Amino acid sequence: MVKNAVGRELPEKIGNYVVKPYKGPGAELDWDKPACTNRVPRLSPAGGSKVAASLKDAIIKSGLKDGQTISFHHCFREGDHIIGQVLTICRELGLKGLTFAPSAVVNVKNPSVIDFVKDGTITNIQASGIRGSLGDGVLEGCMENPVILRSHGARPRAIEMGELSIDVAFIGASAADDYGNCTGQIGPNACGSLGYAMIDAYTAKHVIVVTDNLVEYPCCPASISQMYVDQVAVVEDIGDPAKIGAGAARMTKNPRDLNIAAKCAEVITASRRFKDGFSFQTGVGAIPIAATIYLSEKMEEQGIKASFTLGGTTSNMVDMFRKGQIRVIESSQSFDAVAARAIIEEPNIVEIDNALYADPYTKGSILSKLDFGLLAALEVDTDFNVNILTGSSGEMMAGMGGGPDVAADAAVSIVVVPIVRGRTPSITKRVFTCCTPGDTIAMVITEAGIALNPKYPLYEELKEDLEKTNLKLVTIEELQQLAESLCGTPKPIETTDKVCVVVEYRDGTVIDVIRQIKK
């Protein structure tokens, strides 16, 4: 066993997976080779069409074999109908031992991914999160090989360093033409940005665009160009629009969440970095959306405008953009129907590649220029380490998302979390799963006060700025004790020695593992 820089005990090897222990944020890579790609130069079919007879024919023609890796993007979220169709065909074709590599957490049902794990179609998973029946199955030890989880920024790095090598990329598109130009911005199942599919399109050995909306050539706009696409498969149905992104996100009425959101907006406006041209990323969820709305009000009051926002886009950000409060929205994902439409309606709402958003090893991710970034958390511990994966009983709850990336690269990284959820404390002595190292967290905002991280490089600056306000500053230990006084001390989650999940940091080192939960 080895201990990494956040004090987690790790085996040196898990099956064939060699553990490189996490050493700290901002590490240079030991890598001087060209970026990896599986992309194969192929002669364009002159004047012809790339439309396959069916999705099944496309898969057969791709040459997909046992043991190879298939990838998907997650921009259709819970409304995705592509993954189920592809996996069902793979099973029909008798394919075994596939590595399933979606760009984030997926929780598709009917059929569920766990069914394909159980019958051996899938034997490896690399994602940003797993939940639902798949998460439960994995933590019960149903897979021989550990699932590898990475943040949004880590995935493109892993691809370019050959750790995730995609054989066939299935790219769902709400519109595509017969030569492979495709987009998520138009069509009945529009999901907006296809930012997470780009790295797959650029590097996979074989790229199949899957659509239910074949449009006249050339498809415009084209998020992914025909030059990366091998085949187009037309299916009856790519998703459920109600689950892909229904309407605009609404302001929560939960007073506790509003309280935290208001504090968050106050923190940002109290900072000396809150000035014309500042940048922020708030994301989606009850607290971030409310914080965005409060921030917009304060920007209006003080006449301050942002240069850009980043990452997942919501309708609230689009509203701010249309009021002239944000100059550019860099959108790697669209969280609702308004945000999905906005890319095509507004030239300065830009669809960006996920690698450009969050990969620190691209020579220039936009996150590196960000002033304020918000992160959600399931748990935070007294070392400011963040758990965004596992819940109070150890169950898989969410995905890594861009949390570790935002924390590491934003000048001020802010965790927003209620101190208790139900009967479970959110501020603990030690998080069950460490996903984001505490060294990269500037502060934790709760309804009971704000804890600044004394180890954060901007601690003195933030302390000075916040002490000028009426905001209540507390220590993280005070928050932890308060949370425990309300809920009591939860019993530790008991595990076996079997490692079910490897949690990789941005540089490919291991920040934590999740072991099989004892029943």
Q: Catalog residues that contact other proteins under the rule CB under 8 A.
A: 253, 255-256, 258-259, 262, 419-420, 422-423, 446-448, 470, 485-486
Q: How far is the CB of 413 from other proteins (least distance, A)?
A: 23
* Nearest to other proteins of 267, 514 (CB atom): 267
- What SS3 state is found at 238? coil
* Nearest to other proteins of 299, 445 (CB atom): 445
Q: How far is the CB of 446 from other proteins (least distance, A)?
A: 8
CA distances from 300 to 12, 278, 323, 514 (A): 54, 14, 9, 45
Cα 334 from Cα 190, distance rounded (Å): 10
Q: How far is the CB of 334 from other proteins (least distance, A)?
A: 29
* Nearest to other proteins of 215, 483 (CB atom): 483
User: H or E segment at 173?
Assistant: strand 168-173
* Nearest to other proteins of 109, 472 (CB atom): 472
* Nearest to other proteins of 37, 259 (CB atom): 259
Cα 311 from Cα 295, distance rounded (Å): 17
Asked whether 501 and 450 are in contact (CB, 8 A), the reply is: no
* Nearest to other proteins of 153, 425 (CB atom): 425
Q: How far is the CB of 302 from other proteins (least distance, A)?
A: 16
Q: What is the DSSP string of 39-66?
A: -------TT---B-S-HHHHHHHHT--T
* Nearest to other proteins of 312, 425 (CB atom): 425
CA distances from 319 to 134, 149, 324 (A): 37, 34, 9
Closest CA to 151 of 391, 328, 409, 444: 409
Closest CA to 19 of 3, 6, 35, 32: 3
* Nearest to other proteins of 118, 472 (CB atom): 472
What 8-state DSSP symbol labels residue 442?
-
* Nearest to other proteins of 110, 470 (CB atom): 470
Closest CA to 229 of 32, 50, 16: 50
The answer for 508, left when phi > 0, alpha when psi is -120 to 50, beta otherwise, is left
The answer for 394, left when phi > 0, alpha when psi is -120 to 50, beta otherwise, is left
Q: How far is CA 332 from the centre of its chain?
A: 10
* Nearest to other proteins of 16, 470 (CB atom): 470
* Nearest to other proteins of 39, 463 (CB atom): 463
* Nearest to other proteins of 324, 422 (CB atom): 422
Phi and psi torsions of 237, nearest 5°: -150, 125
User: Using N-to-C axis directions, what is the helix angle for 337-345 and 315-322, rounded to 10°?
Assistant: 40
* Nearest to other proteins of 257, 351 (CB atom): 257
Residues 6+ apart with CB under 8 A from 163: 508
Q: How far is the CB of 250 from other proteins (least distance, A)?
A: 13
Torsion of CA 272, 278, 282, 287, to 10 degrees: 40
Q: How far is the CB of 154 from other proteins (least distance, A)?
A: 35
Q: How far is the CB of 253 from other proteins (least distance, A)?
A: 7
Q: How far is the CB of 427 from other proteins (least distance, A)?
A: 13
Q: How far is the CB of 465 from other proteins (least distance, A)?
A: 15
Q: How far is the CB of 488 from other proteins (least distance, A)?
A: 12
Cα 341 from Cα 328, distance rounded (Å): 15
Closest CA to 417 of 449, 392, 395, 452: 449
For the chain, the straight-line distance linking the first and the last C-alpha, in angstroms and rounded, comes to 24
Q: How far is the CB of 380 from other proteins (least distance, A)?
A: 16
CA distances from 130 to 135, 148, 212, 358, 506 (A): 5, 10, 27, 20, 18
Q: How far is the CB of 255 from other proteins (least distance, A)?
A: 3
Give a three-class secondary structure readout of 455-502. CCCCHHHHHHHHHCCCCCEECHHHHHHHHHHHHCCCCCCCEEEEEEEE
Give the ranges where 246-353 is alpha helix by DSSP (H). Answer: 255-270, 286-302, 315-322, 337-345
Q: How far is the CB of 474 from other proteins (least distance, A)?
A: 11
